[in-house]
């Protein structure tokens, strides 16, 4: 059987972890236990009306909250995990990599690190997701660093490879594995093993920025 694509491997690993830790385990998503996170993943792929509220506030966010609550009322935790494990519905499968590589890596770490394990993963599967996320950052770094407007940002891997995410009169550097940089830029800075350096004024701007997916 061929190996799973990185986003599929992250989905499977997250579902295994969901089953291991149960429905009330903490996550890095503020206010959400694992039951909430599993419901979020289900409605994201299967309830289109929930989409705007995942990135917007106001009425859209309230609608998404109601859809999420309804998903928990109508599905047990094991049922939600089984739906997540099943993968995206057929209409979304051609977009699986684009939609789900970052999403499932980050939420896998939300559960793993929410339980207190903030170490970086090691091994062949970790290497595969590392390389996949670095390739993704080449395409998406400008979008993921959009909260920063006035200074430059360079993303630097431990091997010295650099992505110039944003130009600017002064530059901050985020140094770490691609996995850790993605967590930082997804709003998980406190849990990410990233070294922030460069010009002090640029570092201050990056520290104050509201990153998130």
* Tokens (6 digits) for 138: 């080449």
pLDDT digits (tens, 9 = 90+) for 83-111: 999 999 898 898 899 999 999 999 999 99
Among 9-13, 116-120, 137-141, 196-200, name the one with the lowest average pLDDT. Answer: 116-120
Domain-wise residue ranges, the chain: 6-114, 130-208
Max Cα distance, the chain (Å): 53
Calpha distance 187→24 (Å, rounded):
22
pLDDT at 213 over 70: no
Does domain 130-208 fall under CATH 1.10.357.10? My reply is no
152 pairs with which residues across the strands? 171
pTM: 0.93
CB 151 within 8 A of CB 72: no
The secondary structure element, H or E, covering residue 139 is: helix 124-144
Burial of 93 (0-12, 13-18, 19+ CB in 10 A): exposed
pLDDT digits (tens, 9 = 90+) for 48-74: 767 666 666 788 888 888 989 999 999
Provide the CA 93 distance to its chain's centre, in angstroms: 19
- At residue 86, the pLDDT reads 95
166 pairs with which residues across the strands? 153
């Amino acid at each position: 059987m061929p190996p799973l694509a990185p986003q599929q491997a992250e989905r499977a690993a997250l579902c295994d972890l969901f089953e291991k830790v149960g429905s009330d385990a903490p996550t890095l998503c503020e206010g959400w236990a694992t039951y909430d996170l599993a419901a979020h993943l289900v409605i994201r792929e299967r309830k289109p009306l929930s989409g705007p509220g995942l990135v917007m506030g106001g009425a859209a966010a309230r609608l998404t909250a109601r859809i999420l609550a309804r998903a928990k009322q109508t599905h047990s935790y094991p049922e939600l995990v089984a739906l997540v494990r099943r993968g995206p519905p057929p209409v979304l499968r051609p977009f699986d990599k684009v939609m789900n590589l970052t999403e499932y890596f980050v939420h896998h770490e939300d559960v793993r690190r929410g339980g207190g394990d903030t170490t970086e993963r090691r091994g062949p599967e970790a290497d595969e997701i590392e390389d996949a996320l670095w390739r993704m950052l080449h395409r998406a770094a400008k979008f993921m660093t959009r909260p920063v407007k006035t200074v430059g940002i360079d993303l630097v891997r431990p091997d010295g490879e650099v992505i110039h995410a944003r130009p600017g009169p002064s530059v901050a550097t985020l140094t770490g594995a691609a996995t850790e940089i993605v967590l930082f830029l997804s709003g998980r800075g406190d849990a990410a093993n990233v070294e922030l350096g460069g010009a002090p004024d640029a570092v201050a701007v990056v520290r104050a920025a509201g990153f998130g997916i």
